[in-house]
Amino acid sequence: MHDGCTLFDDLPDDSVPRAAADQVVDPGLHRVATWFRRQQRLEQRFSAVLRQSIDEVLDGQRTGRFDIAEAEKTEKTYLGTKVEIVCRSEFDLFRGVSGMDYRIADEDVDAKFSLYGKWMIPREAMGHVCLLMQVNDAKATFDIGLVRIREEILSSGLNRDKKRQLSSSGRGGIEWLVQDGALIENTLLRMSQSMRALIFAESSGQQRVNALFRNVRGSLIDRNSVVTAARQIDSAKRVRDAREALAAQGIVILGHQKDCPRVASELGITVPPKGCWISVRLVATPNPDGRNRVFLEGRHYAVAEYWEPEEPAPKISC
């Protein structure tokens, strides 16, 4: 049996290779794909690039927005430029030599971002490799692929800027680097509408942050969600004040410092990385009952079940 890499090696030059074969008959694209696949933590880094770009354009701290679908057209257009910049910075890429965005593995590569996978390809990209990026913030997924732009993979229609989309066979020929990747979650967008309503019914920034940590338990809440709820810059101060406000209900907010990682780890919940917090409600559990327990202020505590009565939270050094 032939393997995929040699199957089409003997095609005559003028043949039109089938989409599935593009990757093997295009050594340039193959080199770019290999370069990316050799990067450490490729999926996580693209996830961070896309999350950071979307969050910067949403500018939640100033606007209170968390849904990029509701941004203005100029902002969505600019998001593509922001992604291009953040991606160049994350992977330390140089600019291409023929006006393309990047130079990777001796190939010019153009960055093409689209929120909805409808990449608009300009004439100048003809013959070049495109790094295709798309994201679905509501589903917390993203895709990264490579394709070389050729006449036969483009649709016939032009938009006002004389750009064209990939045809469906063109889409079939994309060499995927990440498919259905895990995007860092947008807490405020991903929560249920009723929970969001509870949070945004509060009139002050601090009260919205309190409601965020009161309602979203046991999963990571990042700095951007806090400043978006607060519409203020100082997330650390808002979290400290939320900690005090929620202590009477037994809710603790764990961060990445001091005693917090140990407490999270012994409770069996996610240990927050820098820039994230996690809130849980605790109850004292004098006797072992199968739950993970942590020893605090002379007593054992476990994560409360919803039916257990509220009691004041122990103090944790954070």
What 3-state class would DSSP assign to 213? helix
Dihedral sign, Cα of residue 298, residue 299, residue 302, residue 308:
negative
Q: Which is nearer to a copy of itself, 93 or 282 (CB)?
A: 93
Least distance in angstroms from the C-beta of 61 to a copy of itself? 8
Within 13 Å of residue 273, how many CA atoms lie on the same side as its CB?
2
Residue 78 as a binder of a copy of itself (CB under 8 A): the answer is yes
Least distance in angstroms from the C-beta of 122 to a copy of itself? 12
Task: Give Cα 91 distance to the centre of its chain.
Answer: 16
Least distance in angstroms from the C-beta of 110 to a copy of itself? 13
Overall size of the chain counted in residues: 318
Residues 283, 300: contact at Cβ < 8 Å?
no
What 3-state class would DSSP assign to 249? helix
Q: Which is nearer to a copy of itself, 55 or 175 (CB)?
A: 55
The 3-class secondary structure across 50-79, one letter per residue, is: HHHHHHHHHCHHHHCCCCHHHCCHHHHHHH
Which part of the chain contacts a copy of itself (CB under 8 A), choosing from 74-82, 167-175, 176-184, 234-242? 74-82
Name the region of 76 (left: φ>0; alpha: ψ -120 to 50; beta: rest). Answer: alpha
Residue 81 as a binder of a copy of itself (CB under 8 A): the answer is yes
Residues in contact with a copy of itself, counted by CB under 8 A, come to a total of 15
Residue 265 CB contacts under 8 Å (≥ 6 apart), including other chains: 271
Q: Which of 77, 155, 257, 292 binds a copy of itself (CB under 8 A)?
A: 77
Q: Which of 63, 98, 155, 317 binds a copy of itself (CB under 8 A)?
A: 63
Q: Which is nearer to a copy of itself, 23 or 232 (CB)?
A: 232
Q: Which of 62, 139, 299, 315 binds a copy of itself (CB under 8 A)?
A: 62
Least distance in angstroms from the C-beta of 203 to a copy of itself? 14
Number of neighbours of residue 122 by Cβ within 10 angstroms: 13
Q: Whose CA is closest to 282, among 298, 262, 296?
A: 296
Residues 179, 183, 189, 193: what is their CA dihedral angle, to the nearest 10 degrees? 60
Residue 80 as a binder of a copy of itself (CB under 8 A): the answer is yes
Q: Which of 72, 151, 289, 305 binds a copy of itself (CB under 8 A)?
A: 72
Q: Which is nearer to a copy of itself, 99 or 312 (CB)?
A: 99
Residue 120 as a binder of a copy of itself (CB under 8 A): the answer is no
Which part of the chain contacts a copy of itself (CB under 8 A), choosing from 86-94, 120-128, 218-226, 241-249? 86-94
Q: Which is nearer to a copy of itself, 77 or 249 (CB)?
A: 77
Residue 85 as a binder of a copy of itself (CB under 8 A): the answer is yes
Q: Whose CA is closest to 65, among 216, 235, 188?
A: 188
Q: Which is nearer to a copy of itself, 23 or 61 (CB)?
A: 61
> How far apart are the C-alpha atoms of 149 and 147, rounded to whole Å?
6
Residue 74 as a binder of a copy of itself (CB under 8 A): the answer is yes
Binding site for a copy of itself (CB under 8 A): 59, 62-63, 72, 74-75, 77-78, 80-82, 85-86, 88-89
